[in-house]
A and B are shown apart, each in its own frame.
Chain A
């Protein structure tokens, strides 16, 4: 037990002793049962009067911290629970009143539930938007990481700039050039996954009550991010050629939105590709009404048929497009690395927002992806996964053709991760959820993908995550569940009481 005495201090010496012992007890340095030195010995050691030590011990005894017995000396008592106040005296916190008022409906556990569903070993998940685990380039990444630790050492573990590790920003500029987007590395912002880009855009552009134009259907994570910022969502329908730009003009004129959110290529969930004509039309309208466009493009490298179209960003002559993409779909979702390419004024604000959010994306992941791309491994890997996913898409399409009930319709997409199916009108979505869960197959219900309740029911089926045999089995189970959900509904309808007229 080491105590220090400050003789010139304002605090009386006995209080200095009792305070320090108190702190030592609280920290656990003096455990219960610890015998304090006899008063005389401590007094000698500290060079103070015995009565001073006695007074300190008496105070500790009075506070119930120590106990003194003749023959056993002064020992530390077990701790009392820290002043647990009586319940009637201090009620629990009124949490609900403390939570933020803006956008509470946006707190939707959907994504969390989906991710945990992917982990269920017994079922087949067609719900998640994940790449195939067995195709992730783990060996190559391990070799690259090992080499990086050799080469750059501590810098791999140090802070990085908020904008991102500069070599990676250059690499990203080179990567997007293959998609037709020409930008300077200075316009690139490295993100902790592309969900963060949605969150940042919402923060930078949306005040509570502002309107954001979204496609219907759209990516639910995007809808969620804008709702959480208090946005009012106005939907524009999507057909086989993507967003209905013929309706967009009216929407822009009527609602004066702050932002247009679009996934023009292999749209999530519909798989639709915005036609070239509509791409130009969308850009013209955005420029005319002065509304920035957030182009979300996670999937355009994953094309299995047809010819690529330039991203909106590549066609943008007015500087109104912010281009969002990610390494999660091709390379590795676990690294959480995405990027945003934005014109300077927007880029500046997005950087400020990101700095307040998480300082910067995790450093080793940034070096790792940079090295992987610089070694030319991305395109080779892309070729491998494209071939695998094309086969999986085919398997899903064939299985659907073989067993889909009448009235179910879908388009085979040219790329991406999903087949979007319209359900027969007779299917009860709640019953379907029950039956599919019982059958051990997961899917994403269509409803969360709409800004307002849709007139029809849909399901989104993912074909990238599971191997072809599992996909076929999953589709069979789902179609069986669909049949049951229809028949059960007929039975329920028959049991209804109808008024006699």
Chain B
């Protein structure tokens, strides 16, 4: 039969890129496309120990329903961690445990967005956030962004001009896809601008703990004098992604709505997953585990940066992120990221073309590369293949130019 879909599904299509990336599952392909944390950093032994202990002592409770807000000790731990690391003053009551931080995004849309409302975001921004807010038929307003973060004057102008601005969505620490980290001054000026508008700031912070150098900066939520910042984060990048445990920290008036909406979405987050995370952080040294992850990713970042510097043809620029999982490539203007990906697949290397990260299109000559998920020699080989594919395309473009003139 013909399924009478809702109109909102029109904007939810399996993307062409996703289809292309299915081709990268062959083992010979070196893929910089994923955003996967490195499995060798997962604390498997510790988790096994935690699981045995947990099911032994409180077995049946762990299998029973829990509250929508989440496990109390986990919420307390999250609040304390945020306050210690980010300079916030969050109480456990202001924390909701979510089924990964993707759910934090979705609940945000469900609580705040009506059709046509404007979401202001960095340019580029996180792909899954674009997809998520698109499902609520939001309009995206991209705000020009430089290496220090979103440009405050540009944001102010757009907030004044946008139709029903509801959300400013930002990733100030080691952004996906660009790897950028906002400066302290920019954070202050950003908060100064938004405090003059009735909008909610959604600060997505999955990567803040993965800083390879320099010092941690206060989060936007720490600079929030008006109670307008919703902070999203997750255990996916500091512990492991399979648990699907993340959190929302929001002012009480707002969090109450998040809880009700979550109740209709999935009742609560897996108790088993919450207990694994909560018992792990209480029994083991998470900081030591994060330090290991940082060291691993820093070496991989170094390898990728060095290889890119060595291999890439002139006219290509890239970011040197001080943390996170990704770096961002700007290709010579004549090269489209999508076409380069097709060519790269012939060379058994893959990445995500950058155009997908711009909700309103354009910027096709860009690419996102992930460096967290493979050992250095493979990174170096992958970059060599990518550079080879790029040089081929540039040579062809030059030849086509000569022929046409």
Binding site for B on A (CB under 8 A): 19, 22-24, 26-29, 81-85, 90, 92-95, 97-102, 106-109, 111-112, 115-116, 118-119, 128, 130, 133-134, 136-139, 141-142, 145-146, 149-150, 153-160, 192-193, 195-196, 199, 203-207, 210, 221, 224-225, 228-229, 258, 287, 290-292, 318-320, 328, 331-337, 343, 345-346, 348-349, 352-353, 355-365, 368
Contact = CB atoms under 8 A, between A and B. Distances in A.
Contacts of B196: 90
> What 10 A-B pairs are tightest by C-beta distance, nearest first?
A138-B59, A363-B242, A334-B271, A142-B55, A157-B240, A149-B48, A332-B63, A154-B39, A362-B270, A136-B63
A118 B65 contact: yes
A359 B244 contact: yes
A149 B44 CA distance: 7
Contacts of B286: none
A90 B135 CA distance: 32
Contacts of A145: 51-52, 55
B103 to A, nearest CB: 5
Contact of B270 (A83, A158, A229, A335): A335
Contacts of A93: 198, 200, 226-228
Contacts of B42: 154, 157-158
B272 A365 contact: yes
Contact of A356 (B4, B12, B66, B273): B12
A320 B272 CA distance: 35
Interface string B265-278: 11111111100100
Interface in B209-267: 214-218, 222-228, 239-245, 253-254, 257, 259-261, 263-267
A357 B273 CA distance: 17
8 contacts: A23-B184, A85-B195, A100-B110, A115-B68, A133-B63, A142-B52, A335-B63, A346-B3
Given A158-B242, A203-B6, A192 B266 contact: yes
Given A205-B4, A349-B3, A19 B185 contact: yes
Interface string B98-129: 11101100100011111000000000000010
Contacts of B228: 93
B222 to A, nearest CB: 7
A334 B67 CA distance: 10
Contact of B267 (A193, A206, A364): A193
B47 interface: yes
Contacts of A83: 188, 191-192, 223, 225
A230 to B, nearest CB: 10
Nearest to B61: A133
Given A99-B257, A133-B64, A210-B6, 16 more contacts: A82-B191, A82-B222, A90-B195, A92-B226, A98-B112, A111-B68, A112-B260, A157-B240, A193-B267, A203-B135, A228-B261, A335-B271, A343-B1, A356-B102, A364-B276, A368-B272
B166 interface: yes
Given A27-B218, A93-B227, A142-B51, A112 B44 contact: no
B361 interface: no
A353 B8 CA distance: 10
Nearest to A154: B39
Contacts of B36: 158-159
Given A107-B257, A133-B60, A142-B59, A157 B48 contact: no
A456 B394 CA distance: 77
Contacts of A155: 39
A133 B59 CA distance: 10
B91 interface: no
B403 interface: no
Contacts of A154: 39-40, 42, 44, 240
B62 A362 contact: no
B289 interface: no
B56 interface: yes
Contact of B266 (A22, A82, A84, A193): A193
Given A98-B200, A334-B65, A358-B99, A112 B259 contact: yes
Nearest to B12: A352
A115 B67 contact: yes
B5 interface: yes
Contacts of B79: none
Nearest to B236: A159
Interface in B267-310: 267-273, 276
A116 B67 contact: yes
Contacts of B183: 19, 23
Contacts of B102: 356-359
B264 A228 contact: yes
Contact of B99 (A82, A210, A362): A362
B131 A365 contact: no
A363 B267 contact: no
Contact of B60 (A26, A94, A112, A134): A134
Contacts of A101: 114
A112 B68 contact: yes
Interface in B1-17: 1-9, 12-14
Contacts of B13: 352
A39 to B, nearest CB: 22
A95 to B, nearest CB: 5
Given A159-B241, A361-B244, A136 B64 contact: yes
Contacts of A157: 39, 42, 44, 47, 239-243
Contacts of A361: 244, 270
B270 A365 contact: yes
A111 B127 CA distance: 33
Contacts of A229: 6
B135 A353 contact: yes
B65 A333 contact: yes
A115 B52 contact: no
A224 B261 CA distance: 10
Given A83-B192, A157-B39, A358-B103, A23 B215 contact: yes
Given A157-B39, A157-B243, A159-B241, A112 B265 contact: no
A109 B266 contact: no
Given A100-B112, A115-B68, A156-B44, A334 B62 contact: yes
Contacts of A85: 195, 225-226
Interface string B79-104: 00000000100000000001110110
B215 A95 contact: no
Among B114, B259, B272, B276, chain A packs the most CB atoms within 10 A around the CB of B272
A37 B218 CA distance: 24
A322 to B, nearest CB: 9
Contacts of A116: 67
A328 B55 CA distance: 18
A112 B67 contact: yes
A139 B59 contact: yes
B244 A358 contact: yes
Nearest to A23: B184
Interface string B167-197: 0000000000000000111001001100110
A163 B94 CA distance: 32
